[in-house]
Amino acid sequence: MKEKLMECGDLLEEVSLKCYNTFRVGGICKYLVSPRTDLELQKLIRYLKKEKISYFILGNGSNLIFSESYYDGVVILLKNFNQIMIKDTRVIAGAGVLMPRLAMLTIQENLTGFEWAIGIPGSVGGCIYNNAEAYKESTFDHLVEITLLTPDNEIKTMPSSAFSSGYRTSFFKENKDYIILKAVFQLECGNQKESLEIVNKRREKRLLSQPLEYPSAGSVFRNPSQENPSGKIIENLGLKGTRIGGAEISTKHANFIINKGNATSNDIRNLIELIHKEVKEKENIDLVMEQEYVGWD
């Protein structure tokens, strides 16, 4: 098995998943493979499916909660899918490109449309998967075309309109056998100075209102509405600062759970479940979690 995996990309064994998610929690995975090309990824998926070996696709791990259990399978890291090409106002980016990097590069090229994404810690593939959004703009607003690996292991390029999307969700969340390889975005001509002013102002606001100094996965729950954000609901119940083990509901922003040091996946999950239960019982609101559990029974 090891020899086969080495033919499909860069291979690591017995890897701590703490290094591959923004919560900095999780157990050990047996193998981590980073394919270098579309063809290597195709070959890898073909082999894993044939041998019925469990696998999981990973971008920047910014919306995931890995369990502490041993993952007896293959984690496929798309970090090598990191090419960016700009043609006029069209931007082509690999699934492994980090959104802050892409946003800053487009601003430097005097393009506008990605200012909202400068503080999103996800990859292009992950942002499409989750339809990441901020400041009333979302990934699908600018998405034109997606190149992907289908469940039949075929590489296809399709218009973004072929895939459904909604508030912090998309077709890909419900159809995990589709793997995003790269995407084309349509931006507009802008002004670098004006874009940087917007970005810097928003960065200052985030530093004051969000616990960016601690490992977290951003907002834990979707907002029931713009008028009634989850953070305000949780704060009004007096839950700020509530702690289980090393995990804490941030005192800066109640919709953030932070790793205060040596938090476990179980600490974080128990805190999420506590919030959900309290809000359901006291406000009759069924909060929807943004993060995804990986490797849990």
| Mean pLDDT of the 261-279 span | 97
Q: What DSSP string describes 15-84?
A: EEGGGGSTT----EEEEEEE-SSHHHHHHHHHHHHHTT--EEEESS-TTEEE-SS-EEEEEEE-TT---E
For the CA atoms of 204, 206, 210, 214, the dihedral, rounded to the nearest 10 degrees, stands at: -70
Q: State residue 53's pLDDT score.
A: 97
| Mean pLDDT of the 273-291 span | 97
Among candidate residues 34, 160, 219, 250, the one labeled active-site is: 219
CA distance 177 to 175: 6
Active site residue 101: no
Q: Is 223 helix (H, G, I), strand (E, B) or coil?
A: coil
Q: Is the pLDDT of residue 142 over 80?
A: yes
CB 23 within 8 A of CB 215: yes
Q: Which residues face 31 on adjacent strands? A: 13, 74
How, if at all, do strands 169-170 and 165-166 pair? antiparallel
% of the chain exceeding 90 in pLDDT: 98
| Mean pLDDT of the 259-269 span | 96
Tokens standing for residue 2: 């090891």
Active site residue 202: no
In this prediction the pTM is 0.93
| Mean pLDDT of the 81-100 span | 97
Q: 149-168: per-residue pLDDT in tens?
A: 999 999 999 999 999 999 99
Q: Is the pLDDT of residue 197 over 90?
A: yes
- Structural domains in the chain? 2-77 (3.30.43.10), 84-193 (3.30.465.10), 212-294 (3.90.78.10)
Active site residue 292: no
Q: Is the pLDDT of residue 297 over 80?
A: no
Among candidate residues 67, 123, 133, 168, the one labeled active-site is: 168
Among candidate residues 115, 133, 248, 290, the one labeled active-site is: 290
For residue 67, give the nearest of 286, 280, 266 by alpha carbon: 266
% of the chain exceeding 70 in pLDDT: 100
